[in-house]
Structure 1
Amino acid sequence: MKLEFYYPRWGSENMDWNLFCQKVKLVGYDGIEAPVPEGPEEQKVMLNALKNNDLQLIGQYYQSFEKDFEEHKSNYVRQLYILASVQPVKINAQTGKDYFSFEQNAELFVIANTISKETGITICHETHRNKALFAAHITHGFLKKLPDLRITADFSHWCNVAESLLEDQEEALALACKNVEHVHSRVGHAQSAQVIDPRLQEFKNEVEAHLNWWDAILKEHQDNKKEVLTITTEFGPAPYMVHLPFTDMPIASQWDINVHMMHLLKGRYCK
Structure 2
Amino acid sequence: MTLKFYAPEWGNSLPFDTFCRNVRASGYDGVEMALPLQAPACREMLATLRDHGLELIGQYYQSLERDPAEHARSYEKYLRHLAAARPIFINCQTGKDFFTTANNTQLFELAARISTETGVPILHETHRGKALFAAHVCQQYLTALPELRLTLDISHWCNVHESLLEDQPEAVRLALSRTGHLHSRVGHPEGPQVSDPRAPEWAPALAAHLAWWDQVVARHRAAGTPLTITTEFGPAPYLPLLPYTQQPVASQWDINVFMLNLLKARYG
Q: Residue 202 of structure 1 aligns with which residue? A: 201
Amino acid at match of 1:18: D
How far apart are 1:40 and its partner, in Å? 1.2
Q: Distance in 1 between matches of 2:16 and 2:45?
A: 6
8 Å contact kept, 1:17–1:45 = no
Q: Residue 5 of structure 2 aligns with which residue? A: 5
Amino acid at match of 1:264: L
Q: Residue 76 of structure 1 aligns with which residue? A: 75
Alignment of 1:216 with 2:215, yes or no, is yes
Q: Distance in 2 between matches of 1:255 and 1:67?
A: 34
8 Å contact kept, 1:64–1:97 = yes
Q: Deviations over 1:62-81 (max 9, x none)?
A: 00000000000000000000
Q: Residue 267 of structure 2 aligns with which residue? A: 269
Amino acid at match of 2:202: F
Q: Residue 256 of structure 2 aligns with which residue? A: 258
Q: Distance in 2 between matches of 1:131 and 1:216?
A: 25
How far apart are 1:219 and its partner, in Å? 1.3
Amino acid at match of 1:59: G
Q: Residue 136 of structure 1 aligns with which residue? A: 135
Q: Distance in 2 between matches of 1:11 and 1:216?
A: 29
How far apart are 1:223 and its partner, in Å? 2.3
1:1-271 matched pairs, under 5 angstroms: 1-12=1-12, 14-226=13-225, 228-270=226-268
Amino acid at match of 1:261: M
Q: Deviations over 1:88-122 (max 9, x none)?
A: 01100000000001111011000000100111111
Q: Distance in 1 between matches of 2:88 and 2:248?
A: 32
Q: Distance in 2 between matches of 1:26 and 1:229?
A: 21
Amino acid at match of 1:63: Q
Q: Count the aligned residue pairs.
A: 268
What residue ranges of structure 1 are gaps of 5+ in the alignment?
none
Q: Distance in 2 between matches of 1:82 and 1:44?
A: 12
Q: Distance in 2 between matches of 1:106 and 1:156?
A: 23
SS at match of 1:96: coil
Amino acid at match of 2:134: A
Where has structure 1 moved over 4 Å in runs of 4 or more?
Answer: none
Q: Distance in 2 between matches of 1:257 and 1:117?
A: 37
Superposition RMSD in Å: 0.6
SS at match of 2:90: strand
Q: Which moved more, 1:183-192 or 1:38-47?
A: 38-47
How far apart are 1:2 and its partner, in Å? 1.5
Q: Distance in 1 between matches of 2:182 and 2:255?
A: 16
Structure 1-normalised TM-score? 0.98
Amino acid at match of 2:51: N
Q: Distance in 1 between matches of 2:146 and 2:215?
A: 18
